[in-house]
A and B are shown apart, each in its own frame.
Chain A
Amino acid sequence: DTMLTARLFRDSDVLFRDADMARWSDNYIELGVGYNSHDSYRFGQFSGLTDKGGFPLAGFNWLSRDEANDAQYWQVYGSTLGLDSRKLSAEGGIQGKWTASINYDRITRSQWDTTSFIHDGLGSNNLTLPSTFVATLGADDTAKINPRLRGYNIEQERDIYRVGLAGFLGKEWDFKVNYREDHRDGTRLTGLPYNFGGGRAVIVPYEIDDRTRQMEAILSYTTRVAQLQVGYTYSKFDNDLNSFNVRNPFTNTAGQTEGRMSLAPSNDFHQVYANAGYNYSKNTRLTGKLSYSIARQDENFLPYSANLATGAAGNVPPRTSLDGKVVRSLLEVALTTKPMDKMNLKVAYQYNDSDNQTPVANYTYLSRDATTSSTTTMRRNAPLSTTEQKFSVDGDYEIAAKTILRAGLERKNLKYSMDDKLYQNPADRDYTNTDKASIELRRPVSDEFLGSVGYTYTQRRGSEYDKNNYFENTYWNPTFRSQNRLTAHPSMRALLYANYNEDRVRTSGNWTASETVSLQGAVDNYRRKAKGPNCSTVVDPAIPATLSATLPDTCLGQTLAEGVSVSLDVQWQPAENLTTFAFGNYGETETTQKGRTWVRGAATTLVGNTAGNLNNGWSADVLNRDATIGVGLKWQPEERWDVGGTYVYNYGTGLSSVRTGTGIVPAETSMPENWNRLNTLQLFAKWDYSKQLSWRFNYLYENLQSRDWAYDNLTATSIDQVLLTGQNSPRYSNHVFGVSAVVKSW
């Protein structure tokens, strides 16, 4: 029974949460105690089990259903009630007439307990310092910074409330109304830069206090021939905080005492939609979707600079708020049919338009709350609109008994448009066409073995890369404009738009070796190579002739992405009362990217990229690998006992190999390897004292070790440009014990 494997797997992952699926069938109340051996934010990241010491174990499930008469039912459920993360729900009604439900989830996210900061007011949206404090040397001014450092933990809580009502309006109509409210509270880390010394930054916790309210109302009409679903979705995000102030700890020469970061703006979203299906005949069905939505955002703007008086000349944006609006329309129609007994066919068309109607204006650019304003550094916002059309044909044919050949073709055309074309950079283009062709064969090799192999080829091409690649009206720096300086390197091919060819091969097998042994395996391999004029010896015609001679014959950006995933599952039931399983997976992804260190020069010259200095190229191969294995067993030595355990091991590494050309001095080297190693052992036993009472014993051991060059060997003051937090890469070793009594229905 493959489900049993799934159940066992969950045992290894869910902390004392109904590990035995049989309990789902029962009405029960569980009460007990647990003990956690060590403090660790990372261990209790989502469970809330962050502190050393005892904790209560509590949960219940109660379902009452009147099967025979009027179909009344009700159910209440609670889980991990003794922990900070918990669930409560209740549902009831008359089946076939109406149901009502209410749910509450609290999810904690404990991120860091090794962080330190110098500011006062931690946890609020206004971080201060004594007026006399100035780190005159920068972030490595240990004499001034170290005495002020104190620990502060980074964590968030999300409370989710849901209410639902559903009912039937006659035999063919029904409705559903669901409301959900998420409240987030806590802090997260952010950086915030200042202008001192060419740029200094602090990493600090910013306050989160926001709500997302969502409502969905659906009316459905259903017969065997036609189905219609009409819905309205409303979502509103309200942020109680619009900004976050942090006192500048560094020397400032122009009154830049404060840094102010904008926080996520309140916004709303409305959507009406209709899903429909029509069974034209037994073998032919027409389906469709129509959707229209509006996303709006009109939060009042902050002033340009926190260090100029609000309303002062040069500190007033051209608008009081954005009045941002994006209108999306979607239409999809699909026809599925069976033109022959052994053949299935699907033809689909989709139109998806995103019309960004946000007003465009020129905004003064005051870098990092600077106090000097100048119209020479203005920026113009560039709302992007897109129109996507997709056409696809898929079909399969049973070429022999249970042997199925599938094939599909798809074309996606994506058009980009901006109100302000002049903002585009060389990597932009007006449209792309992505074509995909796939073929798959599924065949039973024997009665016991079913295998499949599939291949998908995808390519993206498009219009010429944009030629308007100089700073023009949007970057109102007269020098840059008059000198036709480039906005970006003409060879850059951004991932979003770049041409590529991709090959993907997938194979899978399912072997039932005997009545008691079965195996499933799968291999997925892909390779995506960037293609285009600048990836060969042909120079992009969009690049001016004066530059062509000096350009490298390779594109910049991601040039290659590869990945492989190999999985194997084995289930073995050596005896009726003993089930075992094992699984393993190896995954690898690698991206290769190329770069060129260059300096934006006057006219059309790429300083640092001239004929005599073409050696400023560099490349980075980022390789992520991880291997996961797991074993488990479940044994019922006698009628009253259930025992079992699982062990999961995961080892992941990340390696960034960097190579630089001879023009880059000193030459760069590869990064040290990052790694993480997770061991999880869980044991459980259940003893049925009586039909009504069971005792449950749990043990969980989890050990995580990791290394990350972004944090390790660095203190808060290790570098002078950024005041760090001193946080360490996560590592812990925790033992958790639990014993609980489960009282079942009486």
Chain B
Amino acid sequence: AQLGKAPDEPQTRSRAETGATKPCVECHEGFYAITKTKHGVKGDARTPAATGKSITGDPADAMCGACHGDLTEHNKKPRTPGLVPVTFGKKSPAEPQNEACLACHEQGSRIHWKGSKHEQTKQTCASCHRMHASKDPVMVTETQASVCFECHQDRRAELHRMSTHPTKTGFFGCSSCHASHGSTTRASLQKNTVNETCYQCHAQMRGPFLWEHRSAQDDCTNCHNPHGTNNAPMLKTRLPYLCQQCHQDGGNHSSTAFGGKTLPGGANFAANAQRVVGNACTNCHMKIHGSNHPSGARLQR
């Protein structure tokens, strides 16, 4: 069947035809919220409500079979396990679940689902989505992260650090950067590279600059942890030590050892404090993401 194809056959069959004993709603009342969702819109020829077949004569049951398979036997013997062809949840195998969804949803962002990290670790669509709820939490920016944190618990802790994106206030969801259905980028990012992903909101860093800072040009995560750190602005390590992991030039200060004596009262305070306190190295080398000033080779202009 092709997506969007209107059903050619009748959507309901009588109980006499199928031997069904009662409508699904009698046992599964709570799941009927699905009729209030996009899946429940009969006017859209692509939905389970439009394409499914009712086995009970109750039109509302039509969509159940569209995803769960032929429920005739289950309806006859509701307490016998194993009669529902496709069940969703942790205790059921992933592939039949996902096949049921991909039958209609393999396009768009799901093109790269097969072989994606989530698919390889046997996650299912129902691991994250609530198909029967009229509002799916993972589709709402304010509540999305809480769904991801069910498995990515370390990311939840990082959110409470001193320097983070505005996720806690509901303006920044995990999908702002990540394509959870898979992509061609490591960590399933939305764009082709880490930097391209970051430039969606930070286009001022994109350049190209006259004087590039190679580390920034290469990968923003060389220096930043976008999930949050205690070193603002989301730096993996404090300055000046972060800079000194790549820069220890001779004849100037970048090879100097900076420690506690560079702080007030210390023997090296007068000589070296300016490279340690305040913005540390970026007190002077502030164009750390690149400079377009013709005299900006040392990222000071």
> Nearest Cβ in chain B — how far from A512, in angstroms?
9
Q: Are A520 and B153 in contact (CB under 8 A)?
A: yes
* B positions within 8 Å CB-CB of A: 1-5, 33, 35-36, 38, 40-47, 49, 103, 106-108, 111-112, 114-115, 120-122, 130, 133-135, 137, 140, 142-143, 146-147, 149-151, 153-154, 156-162, 166, 168-171, 184, 192-193, 196, 199-201, 203-212, 214-215, 217-218, 222, 229-231, 236-238, 241, 244-251, 255-264, 266-270, 273-274, 276-280, 282-284, 286-287, 291-298, 300-301
Question: A122-130, A147-155, A713-721: which one contacts chain B?
Answer: A713-721
Q: Are B133 and A172 in contact (CB under 8 A)?
A: no
Q: Pull 30 A–B residue pairs with CB atoms less than 8 Å apart, ordered by A.
A: A3-B147, A25-B36, A46-B171, A66-B41, A95-B38, A171-B3, A189-B279, A191-B283, A203-B279, A267-B207, A297-B208, A324-B208, A367-B300, A381-B210, A386-B218, A489-B255, A496-B214, A520-B153, A565-B154, A587-B158, A591-B236, A595-B244, A624-B229, A624-B231, A648-B160, A668-B260, A711-B278, A719-B277, A722-B278, A725-B278
Could you say which of A18, A79, A201 has the most chain B C-beta atoms within 10 Å of its C-beta?
A: A201
A-B CB proximity, top 5 nearest: A71-B43, A668-B259, A96-B44, A600-B250, A585-B157
Total A-B residue pairs with C-beta atoms closer than 8 Å? 479
Residues of A within 8 A of B269 (CB): 719
Contacts A71-B44, A191-B283, A618-B257 given; 17 further ones with Cβ under 8 A? A6-B143, A6-B149, A171-B2, A265-B292, A287-B114, A384-B212, A569-B150, A622-B241, A624-B230, A628-B160, A653-B230, A668-B259, A668-B261, A668-B262, A672-B260, A706-B162, A719-B269
Q: Are B287 and A172 in contact (CB under 8 A)?
A: no
Residues of B within 8 A of A654 (CB): 230-231, 238
Q: Are A666 and B286 in contact (CB under 8 A)?
A: no
Q: Does A114 contact B (CB under 8 A)?
A: no
> Nearest Cβ in chain B — how far from A649, in angstroms?
9
> Nearest Cβ in chain B — how far from A417, in angstroms?
13
Q: Are A597 and B255 in contact (CB under 8 A)?
A: yes
Q: Are B293 and A6 in contact (CB under 8 A)?
A: no
Q: Are B209 and A265 in contact (CB under 8 A)?
A: yes
Q: Are A17 and B170 in contact (CB under 8 A)?
A: yes
Residues of A within 8 A of B1 (CB): 224
Given A67-B42, A364-B294, decide whether A597 and B257 contact each other with a Cβ distance below 8 A.
Answer: yes
From A558, A583, A668, give the contact of B257 (CB < 8 A).
A668
Q: Are A14 and B168 in contact (CB under 8 A)?
A: yes
Q: Are A719 and B273 in contact (CB under 8 A)?
A: yes
Report how far A408 CA is from B228 CA in the complex, Å: 29
Q: What residue in chain B is nearest A450 (Cβ atoms)?
A: B90
Question: A299-307, A455-463, A689-697, A734-742: which one contacts chain B?
Answer: A299-307
Given A191-B278, A558-B245, A706-B162, decide whether A95 and B43 contact each other with a Cβ distance below 8 A.
Answer: yes
Given A79-B170, A227-B111, A722-B283, decide whether A222 and B245 contact each other with a Cβ distance below 8 A.
Answer: no
Report how far A79 CA is from B269 CA in the complex, Å: 49
Q: Are B3 and A666 in contact (CB under 8 A)?
A: no
Residues of B within 8 A of A190 (CB): 279, 282, 286
Q: Are A344 and B241 in contact (CB under 8 A)?
A: no
Report how far A61 CA is from B121 CA in the complex, Å: 36
Residues of B within 8 A of A618 (CB): 257
